[in-house]
Amino acid sequence: MKTIDKFTFGVGDRFAHQAEAQLRAFQQLADRGIPVTPVWNKSNREHLIVGSEPAGTRAAADAAVSSLGWTSDYLLDADHINLGTVDRYLPHCDFYTIDVADDIGTPAAPEEIAAFIDRHPELIGTIEIEGIAAPLRITREDVEKTARQFLKACELAGRIYRHIAGAKDGEDFIAEVSMDETDDPQTPPEMLVILAAIADQDFPIQTIAPKFTGRFNKGVDYVGDLARFEQEFNDDLAVIAHAIKAYGLPGTLKLSVHSGSDKFSIYGPIRRALSRTGAGLHIKTAGTTWLEELIGLAEAGGEALALARQIYLTALEKKEALCEPYATVIDVDDSKLPGAEEVKEWTSEQYTGALRHDQSNPAYNQHFRQLLHVGFKVAAQLGDTYLDALKANAGVIGKNVTENIYQRHMVPLFLGEEDRPRQ
């Protein structure tokens, strides 16, 4: 069984040109004494929108690793796969995000629920969990309700795992189960029932991605009750540690935070929880890199700035279609989007000021940023025009990509506020 490293950090590289710049951030962090394993992830949805293949992500990652002489582990994540989409990833990936969110709520049959409760009488009653002050009180009805809602999803996770393992034929891989793309957050008692159900499926789950309380919009900060998030995150850690012992789950099992990029206000609570408990973490930050490509182009000026402006103008025209697949994970207020006539005249400073995620800059515009976040299809449709611009401006783009991952994400998560750069 392949076990996952304590800290893993997912990066996304929509156009497969930034792997080296991303890896530099991991090198800088390793130089500060914190080993974090890079995981290049790309969902099927992104592959379809960009028109790319998992082989391309693998090739870009391998090339970066060899060019920078990275000798530690790294992983390729088949992000949000299911039985219908996993196969084309199989030759290229060693990390599988098994997405069963669509099966949450598919009701389990009464006899399946009864059998689950017979297997798990320990879930009913007063459960002391180390690290949670008040014991969990779970009634038979609670377990029935949670089982009805989640048993089928957990069963499907087992089926997908076995499908991958069969195809991999003995080759090691990491399995994550994700339930984040759903509306209702899973509570810590639900998490305990879910982990018992996953243990029944008898596969070595390494990370679990719940839906946390609050909004995890793409490319912008967390929106929600910070104190409640911190409580829930800490309780989830305690439940996982408990379930590892109670159900013989892998000792390396850890939480995975999806849409983790740019959630600056929860990095402090996460870091405190990790340093208090010694727990590991997986965090995905895929989309933030593509925006750094735009920032780099805008910063370069001239034709590159004109291209960055053009991408926004097209995104503005096609706003509805671009936002539609991401409707539940963005909040764009049309009235706050800068108009086409205005952006046509923007300087490098105006463009980068609006886009770069620096909340202390009055020019920063989260609506502009979110629209561009989902606007990568526009760049994909530009084909070589866009890719040639990436190549011509690789230096300035790469600098922004590395700085964004290292200073805005890794430093607050792994080193702490005191290390944050002055803006």
Q: Which residues bind Zn ion (CB under 5 A)?
A: 180, 258
Specify the residue, 105 or 302, whose C-beta has the smaller distance to Zn ion.
105
Q: How far is the CB of 210 from Zn ion (least distance, A)?
A: 10
Complex with Zn ion: residue 19 or 257, whichever CB lies closer: 257
Q: What does the DSSP 8-state code read for residue 131? A: T
In terms of DSSP bridges, do strands 125-127 and 136-138 run parallel, antiparallel, or are they unpaired? antiparallel
Residue 237 or residue 257: which is nearer to Zn ion going by CB?
257
Q: Smallest distance from the beta carbon of 178 to Zn ion, in angstroms?
A: 5
Q: CB-wise, 148 or 211, nearer to Zn ion?
A: 211
- Give the C-alpha separation, 123 to 143, whole Å: 7
Measured distance CA(86)–CA(80) in Å, rounded? 9
The least CB distance from residue 80 to Zn ion, in Å, is: 6
Q: How far apart are CA 382 and CA 244, in angstroms?
A: 48
- What's the token pair of residue 14? 């929509």
Cα of first residue to Cα of last residue in the chain, in angstroms, is 44
Find how far residue 93's CA is from the centre of its chain: 16
Give 97 or 146: the residue with its C-beta nearer to Zn ion: 97
Q: Which is nearer to Zn ion, 46 or 190 (CB)?
A: 46
User: What single letter denotes the amino acid at residue 159?
Assistant: R
Q: How far is the CB of 335 from Zn ion (least distance, A)?
A: 29
CA torsion angle 40 387 359 223 (round to 10): -50
How is residue 182 written in tokens? 């759903």
CA-wise closest residue to 37 among 250, 281, 273: 281
Least CB distance to Zn ion at residue 319 (A): 23
CB closer to Zn ion out of 58 and 258: 258
- Closest separation in Å from C-beta 209 to Zn ion: 6
In angstroms, give the least distance from the CB of 181 to Zn ion: 6
- Residue from 210, 188, 206, 211 nearest 130 by CA: 188
What SS3 class is residue 339? Answer: coil
